[in-house]
A and B are shown apart, each in its own frame.
Chain A
Amino acid sequence: MEFPSDLKYTEEHEWARREGEDFLIGITDYAQSELGDIVFVELPEPGTRVDRGAVFGTIEAVKTVSDLYAPLGGEILEVNTDLADQPEIVNASPYGDGWMIRIKPSDPAEVESLMDADAYRAQVGEDA
């Protein structure tokens, strides 16, 4: 199970990675593993604004559907359109090609309140 140290994490199993002024958002390796085969990812239109902690989409696996929560508030600049036809990318590469949205945070300082890799690893009960 991977917990990259350059990412910030939420209790709801999303991650955020800084890219210049923006952040990429996705779900963690642990989350994709718990969900199992992902069959559909529903994402918002670019230009949509979300509040921190608000639902920005849903992810559907064979046996369940989960909401996706925004780690940071702001404007959604871009969504990963590859996931529309190949949602299984999230299983194969949760921290890479399986990213979901690019967000421009309204308050970049919010990122400081997210968990670091060690804290998240402890939350999911994975021994270091």
Chain B
Amino acid sequence: MNAAGEILLEARHLSMRFGGLVAVDDLSFSARRGKITAIIGPNGAGKTTVFNCITGFYQPSQGMIRIAHTDGKEFLLERLPDFRIAAQARVARTFQNIRLFAGMTALENLLVAQHNRLMLASGFTLLGVFGWPGYMHAEQAAIEKARRWLDRVGLANRADDPAGALPYGAQRRLEIARAMCADPVLLCLDEPAAGLNPREAGELNKLLAAIRAEGKTSLLLIEHHMGVVMEISDHVVVLDYGKKIAEGPPAEIRNDPKVIAAYLGVEEEEVAR
């Protein structure tokens, strides 16, 4: 990837207000191609709101978010409806509270993620109904791709189990695999390590690092688990009360007095209460 390191996603003067509450306040940051960018901050700092603005679930009150593909196409995400952001701007996401299709099997979950390509291959259902060979090939390819991802997240033997029956850590991994099956250029992970044990968090690190190494997908990460953030991210953006208070490589952020104050300050208040 010759384009590695250039700006992939750029948010400028992004604000999100809910009535009188300013959840995100004039935030500007960028994520680079082929890198892992982490957004951290205390609870209620507006991290998930930023994600929802990027993925179109919220319409930002102000500001712009631009994504540039390697082929030169550019999309202004604040102007696209959510499903187009996923389908055309190719931004995929996971959710803080896992949103799998619980009654469907792991394999089916990964096939739903490849919906648009399969829809096209099935001639918008018209050809697929009659078992059009082109569609059969496309479906086989989709299943093959799903199998590869199931292998990578260590769920190959659970492919035919309903997603809702998988253990928590496996559900987290499956959600990442599902997002990756949509071939994103940017994958937004909302607290992927939440609720994972140290071993699982270590595996997650490896998986994310491997996705980065392939160079096709860049990552944007919200995380509380500092082990994950400090180990794998290339760039960290720190939010507090909707504002950016620091930005830089992890080593720098770790020692930034403002960041320490934001984190410890909140904790001290909690102790005092």
Q: Do A and B bind each other?
A: no
Residues of B participating in the A interface, judged by any CB pair closer than 8 Å: none
Q: Which residues of A contact B (CB under 8 A)?
A: none
